[in-house]
Chains A and B, each alone.
Chain A
Amino acid sequence: MPDFSPTQYAVPLFVVAIVIEMIWARLKRPESYEPMDTLVSLGFGLGSTISGALFGGLAAYVFIEAYEYRLFDLGEAWWAVWWAWPLAFVLDDFKYYWVHRAGHRIRWMWAAHVNHHSSQHYNLSTALRQTWTGNFTFGLLFAVPLVLLGFHPAMLAIVGGFNLIYQFWIHTEAIDRMPRWFEAVMNTPSHHRVHHATNPQYLDRNYAGVLIVWDKMFGTFEPERDDEVIRYGIVKQLGSFNIVWSVFHEWIGMVTDIWRAPWKYKLSYLLREPGWTHDGSRETSDMIRARWLSGAHRDGNSHLPSNLQQNAIAPSEEAA
């Protein structure tokens, strides 16, 4: 089994694709890029690679140890078991859905993942806006069950790499909609624009990596509306292009909250959803959505998602 990292080979393609999108932006939508924002996003990408090389050892150690306790053994030549590859890809994508969902719903995880969302722009450079601090969360634990099933850590790293490559191209406004059958099954630019939006009805939706079916199965899918202008970024926009602040702002905020909170609330500031406070002084995404829903109801609910228009007060949305 050669030492193979698909993302390394994809980097030149990323660069070419960004150049092509910039030319499209020059011709069609110059405002879709902002040079300083692009610089910061690409800086995130470089820092993430360096951070992964420096701090990824713990995850590798955990996976290799866990592999010793695997339930099923694909043999010495595990990489030659052809059917294991698509199975690993789908299961890894299922894992990605949950680790990504946790990345939005648990503040400790959000502290690392927020970096990917803190741009007010949505273009291919945003895709490379990856975390520097992911190794300081418990996200790696989501992959342990797959290792225990018998998938070699290297196999999971490779299919995870292809998953990441797939997600690159969906970070664009240059593509409106894909064919209907494709939109039904796969994550697409349209679905992922919703994920990056701060519009109340779009908050914490569409966590999928490659297959959008996970969101449809677990009640977190929201289609993009043509009559709703998307606002990108985070609820409290940074207002700064300082990359160090961009990397650590949520970690600083979380640690500050834990430090100041009464003892019985300290763990909640680590494990509850972003925006949660013990005194109700800030809003979670659920609270923002509920406030928006009540306002939309008052105004005649014309902007409500179609599945919520019949009952804006008691929407059938998931409670997570």
Chain B
Amino acid sequence: MDYAPLLLQSAGSLVAILALAALAWWLKLGGKTALTDEHDVARAAGEVDDGFEPARVSISRGGNAALARDASGRIMVIKHHGNKFVGRILTPSANVSEEVDALIVKSGSDTDSARFGVVRLSLEDPAYWADAINRL
């Protein structure tokens, strides 16, 4: 197989890809979204898990992340992803740690949780959430 045409085509495509992505940045597409109140959190939580109805929420300062707990005790962590929000329902293997001004939450111990990443939240009531997550 002659790989030269494939390499040439791939190089050209790569240039076009980088140019289009640069154009998207230059045009300021995307923008920022933030969680401002419990309705925003409820909407984001419902998009993560249809039917999830938060009974208690805490929004990280800046609105880039949140924790939500429903009536049955399930806890969801929501984070900013691009200009959208994504979330995970925490499992018993979820990990939480406290720093001076932040709660660090990892949704579980599997590969998906690792790729989802840790979520750093700056909350008014970190102790409540740390305790709740540790009780899962």
Interface residues of chain A, those whose CB is within 8 Å of chain B, are: 8, 11, 15, 18-19, 22-23, 25-26, 30-39, 42-43, 45-46, 49-50, 53, 120-121, 125, 198, 200, 231, 236-242, 245, 249, 252-253, 256, 288, 291-292, 295
Bound-complex Cα distance A33 to B10 (A) = 24
Determine which of A18, A39, A45, A245 lies in contact with B13 in the assembled complex, contact meaning CB atoms within 8 Å: A45
Q: How far is the CB of A246 from chain B (nearest CB, A)?
A: 9
Closest Cβ neighbor of A198 among chain B residues:
B47
Interface residues of B in 45-71 (CB under 8 A from A): 47-48, 50-51
B115 an interface residue at 8 Å Cβ cutoff?
Answer: yes
User: Hey, what's the 0/1 contact readout for B22-54 against A, CB within 8 Å counting as 1?
Assistant: 011101111101000000000000011011000
Bound-complex Cα distance A300 to B28 (A) = 42
Do A15 and B20 touch across chains, with their CB atoms under 8 A apart?
A: yes
Interface residues of chain B, those whose CB is within 8 Å of chain A, are: 1, 6, 9-10, 13-14, 16-18, 20-21, 23-25, 27-31, 33, 47-48, 50-51, 79, 81-84, 86-88, 110-112, 115-117
Bound-complex Cα distance A250 to B95 (A) = 24
Determine which of B1, B9, B83, B112 lies in contact with A31 in the assembled complex, contact meaning CB atoms within 8 Å: B83
Closest Cβ neighbor of A245 among chain B residues:
B115
Q: How far is the CB of B108 from chain A (nearest CB, A)?
A: 12
Determine which of B9, B29, B79, B111 lies in contact with A22 in the assembled complex, contact meaning CB atoms within 8 Å: B29
Determine which of B6, B17, B23, B81 lies in contact with A120 in the assembled complex, contact meaning CB atoms within 8 Å: B81
Residues of A with C-beta under 8 A to B47: 198, 231
Bound-complex Cα distance A256 to B114 (A) = 15
Determine which of B13, B33, B51, B81 lies in contact with A291 in the assembled complex, contact meaning CB atoms within 8 Å: B51
Do A26 and B10 touch across chains, with their CB atoms under 8 A apart?
A: no
On whether A46 and B13 interact (CB within 8 A), knowing A237-B81, A238-B86, the answer reads yes
Residues of A with C-beta under 8 A to B79: 239
Closest Cβ neighbor of B19 among chain A residues:
A15
